[in-house]
């Protein structure tokens, strides 16, 4: 296939993920070294995607011989890493003997496999290649010294016995609780660093199928409107299955997530498969402490009850179904190892002053939040949040309910959005946690696509080609029903191309 204009051999994997690519490359390299009796150990490198294998300088010839033999059959490529070559990342066929002769003085080199999904839309290559580095023997000190920096140790004991440890020791993309492969290393690398996150992190979605006639009927009855099936079918509600693609993005790019909870009102996506064991559908009646508030059609009311989800971890990310993980992210993007959460402020400003008819519903709710923060802390908030996954702590959400009981209860009982509501997950939580020393500002490379823009096709093509957003949101707040139908012809192919690999949460027929 063509990669950056070059013809490359590629390996096809039906269930390709970044973690699978990383694991496959480690397995290929370490198996080849094992087959030739070459001692080796995993090193905690500087990049979470790129595995690093350490070998003693004294075993250089044997290691090169073993890996050259691997290169004749493995369909991979070689590039020198250290000393840094004059032309960066020049890949050469690993089945060329001349390539290996040129590595006689290299302190580190990389073996790269191009791994693709069957559609060849997801291509994982150089970033996931396995680096092999040669550690210098210092017999006077009885240590092997690293040829370059890593995240932990400049040297390891020559006398140390190897140990096998979990994958989380070498990449922050793996959770300490995941049942991943055991990897051979030295005892010096079997330690938790101050920034390592080892507590579980869950994900919560709120989801509704607005095109569901039964949901529309319940909504019309509460609003006191007549329900007509024909008119309802022509409503602005349209189901684009964003949740399916958001779950794909989660599976690909946040493999450290423990459990997933989908909060909904007597609904379940037709394609959803719960057999994976870590995904659960939670009905509103299971989390509302006062069921007289149900049914509700107010997302901010539902959000007041998320901390009541049974089994939910203390730390979790809250997502709307139009939010996506754009590339592999470590949990440190959202939390600190001491438990603090991060928040991501919008550049937009909320006008100072009382609520007016000119305020958007969001601005009105933020003004209500502002009053609470001013009364409690004497600080005036002026910003909302970016539309990115919201890092939250269950205990702080419960604390907010206790600290602002009147405003919290009023919002929970607000069946439709109201100018008297507070908005917790988008704004109040983050300021309250910050002012009480349990949150701090974070930063993500964030994308926001409004479907109603005239250059939608160009924006989506650019996003697919670059894949440089950490997270992104696709929003349809200003589209008419007719426009949404037109956008479907553009949006669905984009999401399928960006996230072509089905997640374990899709039924067999969907997969």
Instruction: Note the pLDDT tens digit of each residue in 92-104.
Output: 999 999 999 989 8
Residues sharing a CB contact under 8 Å with residue 66, sequence separation 6 or more, in sequence order: 32, 33, 35, 36, 38
Kindly state the average pLDDT of the residues 304-315.
98
pLDDT of residue 28: 98
Write down the pTM of the prediction.
Answer: 0.95
8 Å CB contact between 112 and 125:
yes
The sheet that has 201-206: what strands, in order across it? Answer: 279-283, 260-264, 201-206, 315-320, 390-393
Task: Pick the range with the lowest mean pLDDT from 188-192, 329-333, 348-352, 442-446.
Answer: 348-352
Q: Which domains, ranges and CATH numbers included, belong to the chain?
A: 2-189 (no CATH), 201-498 (3.90.550)
pLDDT of residue 228: 56
Confidence grade of residue 477 (pLDDT, cut at 50, 70, 90): low
Kindly state the average pLDDT of the residues 39-56.
98
Confidence grade of residue 209 (pLDDT, cut at 50, 70, 90): very high
Q: What span, in angstroms and rounded, lies between the C-alpha atoms of 344 and 390?
A: 8
pLDDT of residue 149: 97
Kindly state the average pLDDT of the residues 429-445.
97
Structure tokens at 326: 């754009």
Confidence grade of residue 219 (pLDDT, cut at 50, 70, 90): very high
Residue 234 has pLDDT above 50, yes or no: no
Residue 266 has pLDDT above 80, yes or no: yes
Residue 494 has pLDDT above 60, yes or no: yes
Task: Pick the range with the lowest mean pLDDT from 33-37, 159-163, 175-179, 342-346.
Answer: 175-179
Task: Pick the range with the lowest mean pLDDT from 31-40, 157-166, 248-257, 485-494.
Answer: 485-494
Structure tokens at 136: 């210098």
- Alpha helix stretches (DSSP H) within 254-393: 284-287, 299-303, 361-377
Residue 485 has pLDDT above 90, yes or no: no
Residue bearing tokens 């051999």: 9
Residue 56 has pLDDT above 50, yes or no: yes
Instruction: Note the pLDDT tens digit of each residue in 370-415.
Output: 999 999 999 999 999 999 999 999 999 999 999 999 999 999 999 9
Residues sharing a CB contact under 8 Å with residue 485, sequence separation 6 or more, in sequence order: 238
pLDDT of residue 111: 98
Confidence grade of residue 4 (pLDDT, cut at 50, 70, 90): confident
| DSSP strand pairing (143-145 vs 114-116) | unpaired
Kindly state the average pLDDT of the residues 192-207.
97
pLDDT of residue 230: 47
Q: What span, in angstroms and rounded, lies between the C-alpha atoms of 246 and 275?
A: 18
* CA distance from start to end of the chain: 24
**Cα–Cα distances in angstroms (integers) from residue 340 to residues 168, 175, 313, 441, in the given order:** 20, 18, 14, 10
């Amino acid at each position: 296939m063509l990669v950056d204009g070059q013809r490359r051999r590629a390996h096809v994997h039906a269930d390709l993920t970044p973690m699978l690519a990383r694991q496959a490359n480690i397995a290929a390299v370490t198996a080849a070294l094992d087959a030739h009796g070459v001692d080796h150990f995993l090193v905690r490198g500087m990049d979470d995607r790129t595995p690093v294998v350490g070998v003693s300088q004294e075993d250089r010839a044997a290691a090169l011989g073993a890996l050259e033999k691997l290169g004749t059959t493995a369909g991979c490529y070689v590039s020198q890493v250290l000393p840094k070559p004059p032309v960066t990342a020049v890949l050469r066929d690993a089945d060329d003997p001349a390539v290996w002769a040129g590595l006689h003085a290299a302190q580190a080199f990389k073996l790269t496999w191009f791994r693709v999904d069957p559609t060849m839309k997801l291509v994982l290559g150089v970033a996931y290649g396995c680096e092999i580095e040669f550690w210098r023997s210092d017999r006077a000190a009885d240590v092997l010294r690293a040829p370059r920096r890593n995240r932990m140790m400049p040297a390891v004991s020559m006398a140390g016995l190897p140990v096998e440890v979990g994958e989380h020791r070498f990449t922050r993309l793996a959770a300490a609780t995941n049942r991943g492969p055991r990897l051979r290393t030295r005892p010096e690398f079997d330690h938790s660093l101050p920034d390592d996150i080892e507590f579980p992190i869950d994900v919560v979605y709120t989801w509704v199928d607005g095109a569901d006639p039964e949901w529309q009927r319940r909504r019309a009855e509460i609003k006191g409107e007549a329900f007509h099936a024909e008119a309802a079918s022509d409503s602005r509600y349209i189901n684009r299955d964003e949740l399916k693609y958001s779950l794909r993005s989660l599976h690909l790019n946040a493999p450290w997530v423990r459990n997933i909870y989908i909060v909904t009102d007597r609904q379940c996506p037709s394609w959803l498969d719960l057999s994976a064991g870590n995904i659960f559908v939670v009905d509103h009646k299971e989390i509302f402490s006062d069921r007289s508030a149900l049914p509700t059609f107010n997302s901010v009311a539902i959000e007041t009850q998320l901390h009541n989800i049974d089994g939910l971890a203390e730390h979790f990310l809250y997502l709307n179904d139009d939010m996506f993980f754009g590339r592999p992210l470590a949990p440190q993007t959202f939390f600190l190892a001491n438990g603090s959460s991060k928040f991501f402020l919008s550049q937009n400003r909320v006008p100072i002053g009382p609520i007016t008819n000119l305020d958007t519903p969001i601005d009105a709710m933020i003004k209500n939040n502002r009053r609470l923060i001013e009364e409690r802390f004497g600080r005036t908030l002026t910003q909302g949040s970016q539309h990115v996954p919201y890092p939250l702590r269950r205990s702080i959400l419960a604390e907010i309910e206790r600290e602002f009981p009147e405003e919290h209860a009023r919002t929970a009982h607000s069946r439709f959005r109201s100018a008297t509501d507070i908005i917790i997950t988008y704004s109040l939580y983050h300021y309250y946690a910050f002012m009480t020393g349990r949150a701090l500002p974070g930063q993500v490379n964030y994308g926001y696509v409004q479907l109603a823009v005239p250059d939608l096709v160009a924006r989506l093509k650019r996003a697919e080609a670059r894949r440089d957003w950490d997270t992104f949101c696709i929003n349809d707040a200003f589209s008419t029903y007719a426009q949404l139908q037109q956008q479907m012809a553009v949006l669905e192919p984009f999401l399928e191309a960006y996230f072509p690999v089905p997640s374990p949460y899709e039924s067999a027929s969907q997969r």
